[in-house]
Amino acid sequence: MHETLTVGTASADPGELADGWIDATDLPTGGSERLPVTVVNGVDEGPVLWVTGGVHGDEATGVAVAQDVAAVAADAIAELAGSVVVVPVVNPAGLRRNERTSYYGGDDPNRYFPDTARDASRPPETQERIDTRLFEALTESADLLVDCHTAQVGSMPFTIRDRVLYGDQRTEAEAETLAADLDRLATALGLPILTEYPAEEYVDQSLQRSTAGAALNTADIPAVTAELGGHSVVEEDARAAGVAGILAVAVEFGLLDSVPESVDAAGSGIPDAPVDYPVRRFVGPRVESAGLLRHRVAVGEPVETGDVIADVVTPHGDVVESVETDHDGYVIGRSEGLAAYEGSAVASMAVRDDGDLVVPRDPDNAE
């Protein structure tokens, strides 16, 4: 029997919508930090799709997409088989300052979600406690997760698909089953798909402790990260594409029979992947000379190994370095700013991926 769904203070019976709050942490000045949550509980039983946004406080389009998905789900509640749970602002402290980070910690708030292999001698600090409370609420009900983000200014929208780790947490066969649902989710979203960094780099960067990475690799919940254009302002094409993609996910997993007519098609400005081979995320190439950066490749443009994608010039305009790519792939975003220092990355790229989606967490102990 379909039941009442409660997340934080939001409690919705079948066929109802409820707004509420998830308590995050107490504040020194009194009161508490709260995360807004909307629960749209369908008339019929089915999967529970979570949509989160704003874990980085300046990523405006992700917040707008989450809010608009909640509104569309509410309008379609009579046809909804399952539930949609939306937390549009995961990092209110960052949002208040229009900054990526929170003031509960100076580093990335999207690297503190639970990890099965966490082995720290110190107790968790504030941001980790906030992330853990959200994670606990998520894992009580979620069957699927789309975490909405944005990338650098001028970036194209794309979907990040995490590596599925096996080892102590799950067997390789269990990881393959999870990966199949992950691939269904990423494909349904309809944006170009990039697999995360290779396994060793993925773990080194604690990406298994991101919102989607922890949902996938700690809680066995199929989860993806939707990167929806550039940060700081809502980009309309990316917003439309994100909403349409998440509603397509709802159709793929049986929450809806079809995407509601009220949902705009993905924006015409969203480029398709310009290559037909698998790709992964890569930051680079990097410059060897300090100077001013002149990009030579547009976002969404394919490149081959050896192509020059940027020049470094002096303040007088003389070229001191032509920066070549060491990979086949395409540019998904160009580095912000004019100044380049030794070792600065020129771009974010989707590069050819010859690795596996399902990988051992500890390659040295893999059979």
Query: What is the CATH classification number for the domain harbouring 328?
Result: 2.40.50.100
Same domain assignment for residues 166 and 36: yes
- Residue 187 in contact with residue 193, Cβ under 8 Å? yes
Burial 95-110 (b: 16+ CB within 10 A, else e): beeeebbbebbeebbb
The total number of structural domains in the chain stands at 2
In a domain, 214, yes or no: yes
Close Cβ partners of 45 (under 8 Å, ≥ 6 residues apart)? 1, 2, 81, 82
Same-domain check for residues 188 and 331: no
Both 131 and 199 in a single domain?
yes
Q: What pLDDT was estimated at residue 317? A: 96
* Residue positions counted in the chain: 367
57: nearest Cα among 27, 90, 35, 16? 90
Which residue shows structure tokens 């549009």?
88
The domain in which residue 118 lies consists of 5-252
Q: Domain check: are 80 and 229 in the same one?
A: yes
Find the CATH number of the domain harbouring 106: 3.40.630.10
* Average pLDDT value for residue range 298-317: 97
For residue 196, the 8-state DSSP code is -
Contact 229, 235 (CB under 8 A): yes
Q: Please indicate, yes or no, whether residues 292 and 161 belong to a single structural domain of this protein.
A: no
SS3 283: strand
| Whole-number pLDDT of residue 78 | 95
CB-based contact 56:149 (threshold 8 Å): yes
Residue 235 falls within a domain, yes or no? Answer: yes
261 found inside a domain = no
What sign does the dihedral 6-10-11-17 (CA atoms) show?
negative
**Residue 355's pLDDT is what?**
92
The domain boundary, picked from 215, 237, 252, lies at: 252
Q: Are 106 and 272 in contact (CB under 8 A)?
A: no
Which 8-state DSSP code applies to residue 79?
A: G
pLDDT at 2 (0 to 100)? 77
Which contiguous run of DSSP H or E holds residue 323? strand 319-324
d(CA 347, CA 286): 8
Cα 116 to Cα 135: distance, rounded to the nearest angstrom: 13
In tens, the pLDDT along 140-176 reads 999 999 999 999 988 999 999 999 999 988 999 999 9
The answer on 153 and 19 residing in a single domain is yes
Q: Which of 252, 268, 298 is the last residue of a domain?
A: 252
Share of the chain above pLDDT 70, in %: 96
Same domain, 190 and 334: no
Q: Tell me if 218 is assigned to some domain.
A: yes
* Residue 267 lies inside a defined structural domain of this protein: no
∠ Cα 62 7 95 (to 5°):
30
Residue 363 within a domain: no
Residue-wise pLDDT for 244-295, tens only, equals 999 999 999 999 999 998 887 655 567 889 999 999 999 999 999 999 999 9
| 18-42: pLDDT as tens digits | 999 999 999 999 999 999 999 999 9
CA angle 277, 182, 258 (to 5 degrees): 100
Judge if 305 and 217 occupy the same domain. no
pLDDT band at residue 199, thresholds of 50, 70 and 90? confident
Same domain, 330 and 215: no
Is 245 within a domain? yes
With CA atoms as reference, report the closest residue to 222 among 233, 212, 237.
212
Domain stops at, among 207, 234, 252: 252
Pair (176, 320) in one structural domain: no
The per-residue pLDDT of the chain, averaged, comes to 94
241 lies in the same domain as 288: no
Confidence class for position 75, pLDDT limits 50, 70, 90: very high
pLDDT at 301 over 80: yes
Please indicate, yes or no, if residue 243 is contained in any of the structural domains: yes
The SS3 call for residue 193 is: strand
Q: What is the DSSP string of 50-74?
A: EEEE-SSTT-HHHHHHHHHHHHHHH
232 vs 98: CA distance, rounded Å: 8
**Whether residue 313 sits in one domain with residue 232:** no
Query: What's the one-letter identity of residue 291?
Result: G
